[in-house]
Amino acid sequence: MNLQVTESDVLLGKSLAELTTWMEERGQPAYRGKQLYQWLYQKGARSLGEISVFPKQFRESVSDYPIGRSNIHFRAVAPDKTRKYLLQLQDGLIIEAVGIPTSKRLTVCVSSQVGCPMDCDFCATGKGGFTRNLKAYEIVDQVLTVQNDFGERVSNVVYMGMGEPLINLEQVIKSVKLLNQDVGIGQRSLTISTVGIPNKIRELAEQKLQITFAVSLHASNQTLREQLIPSAKHYSLQQLLAECREYVQITGRRVTFEYILLAGVNDNPENARELVKHLRGFQTHVNLIPYNPISEVDYQRPDGQRIKQFQDILQQNKIAVTVRYSRGLSADAACGQLRASRR
Ligand code: SAH
């Protein structure tokens, strides 16, 4: 660990032009910049020493240079093949990333912060507090690490790991551009999920990205939402939905609403009907997430019949709806279970 190195020195996160300059400053021809770029973003090089196309002497002289990759501190594999990683950053802090394979896709769930300041009642990440925002390169690193570990190209990235992406919007947007332009993942295959931060949804919309955008709604009225999500006290459901409508207008893309289902709390047919009222005429899609248990609180997951009933009410009202049965449950890698421990 070299604490002298500042973020601007780290190679991952730099553009092709910046990498070319970096090589030229070290007496290397410009085309070596392109090679460095390809090895960093395509081959996922973890050190300059392994870039075998570089002259041996040069390679040796820069082999210790920090390129911005984390170390896999711990890895757990669930029976459904989902892999949860604890990654150690350069400053020693630990974050989580999850690799979720299906027959056609490899999805990575990335963290945007170390910990999370939102403290939603049902989520494990918030229970551990908040430490710092991640830099864009630290988000890209998670994708490259999972890609490398599976030996397979990542097709989708969801910003649904630790943290609230819209509090770290600048670095999150930078990472979206890096993943899209430099790693080569389509914007529509990148999903940002937020609990909603005042004015930030508009700011994201103004970027006019083609990403998939999801909002963690979780409640059908303001009182219930405040009970589950402390920050909702400063951001009314009405304001949140108004900003989401603006998002649709500005980007021409629909908004996905995530709705966690907690038995006896927000899963009543009445809640479903209330939700329908809010979403009528909205270009949207609802993703129901049956609660994944965490140890700190005693919420319950509703049974299948109850979930189906909620889903049916939305469907009958012409609202597109899917149920997300989270992967990786037994490895504590499912939605809301991420915390930097290896229980
Ligand atoms: N802060 C962002 C990103 C986290 S995404 C956001 O709130 O959207 C993770 C998703 O999993 C969110 O929709 C979150 O509310 C949901 N989630 C949190 N805890 C959960 C739990 N115990 N069971 C199921 N889903 C949970």
For ligand 1, say whether the CB of 289 is within 6 Å of any of its atoms: yes
Residues 109, 120, 244, 335: which is the catalytic one? 335
In this prediction, residue 278 has a pLDDT band, given cuts at 50, 70 and 90, of very high
The token pair at 249 is 């207008």
In this prediction, residue 1 has a pLDDT band, given cuts at 50, 70 and 90, of very low
In this prediction, residue 329 has a pLDDT band, given cuts at 50, 70 and 90, of confident
Atom from ligand 1 closest to the CA of residue 294: 22
Q: Which residue ranges form the domains of the chain, and what is each CATH number?
A: 7-62 (1.10.150.530), 71-342 (3.20.20.70)
Q: Give the per-residue pLDDT at 327.
A: 79
Active-site residue, 164 included: no
CA of 277 to the centre of ligand 1 (A): 23
Give tens-digit pLDDT for 89-134: 999 999 999 999 999 999 999 999 999 999 999 999 999 999 999 9
Q: Judge contact between 19 and 36, C-beta under 8 A.
A: yes
Give the rounded percent of residues in the chain with a pLDDT score beyond 70: 96
Which has the closest alpha carbon to 117: 237, 173, 203, 197?
197
Q: What is the rounded average pLDDT of the residues 261-285?
A: 96
Q: Give the per-residue pLDDT at 257.
A: 98
Atom from ligand 1 closest to the CA of residue 112: 3
**Confidence check: pLDDT of 64 > 70:** yes
Q: Which of 193, 259, 267, 337 maximizes ligand 1 atoms within 8 Å of its Cβ, making it the mutation to test the pocket? A: 193
Give tens-digit pLDDT for 242-253: 999 999 999 999
In SS3 terms, the chain reads as: CCCCCCHHHCCCCCCHHHHHHHHHHCCCCCHHHHHHHHHHHCCCCCCHHHCCCCCHHHHHHHCCCCCCCCEEEEEEECCCCCEEEEEECCCCCEEEEEEEECCCCEEEECCCEEECCCCCCCCHHHHCCEEEECCHHHHHHHHHHHHHHHCCCCCEEEECCCCCHHHHHHHHHHHHHHHHHHHCCCHHHEEEEECCCCCHHHHHHCCCCCCEEEEECCCCCHHHHHHHCHHHHHCCHHHHHHHHHHHHHHHCCCEEEEEEECCCCCCCHHHHHHHHHHHCCCCEEEEEEECCCCCCCCCCCCCHHHHHHHHHHHHHCCCCEEECCCCCHHHCCCCCCCCCCCC
Give the rounded percent of residues in the chain with a pLDDT score beyond 90: 88
**Confidence check: pLDDT of 147 > 90:** yes
Q: Give the per-residue pLDDT at 4.
A: 52
**Confidence check: pLDDT of 340 > 80:** no
Q: What is the rounded average pLDDT of the residues 207-213?
A: 98
Active-site residue, 7 included: no
Q: Mean of the per-residue pLDDT values for the chain?
A: 94
Specify the pTM: 0.95
Q: What is the rounded average pLDDT of the residues 306-325?
A: 96
Which residues lie across from 286 on neighbouring strands? 257, 321
Q: What type of residue is 195?
A: V
d(CA 123, CA 116) in angstroms, rounded, equals 10
Give tens-digit pLDDT for 20-62: 999 999 999 999 999 999 999 999 999 999 999 999 999 999 9
Nearest CA to ligand 1 atom 17: 336
Q: Which residue has the tokens 């947007």?
A: 173
Give tens-digit pLDDT for 185-195: 999 999 999 99
Q: Which residue has the tokens 């910046």?
A: 18
Q: Give the per-residue pLDDT at 8.
A: 67
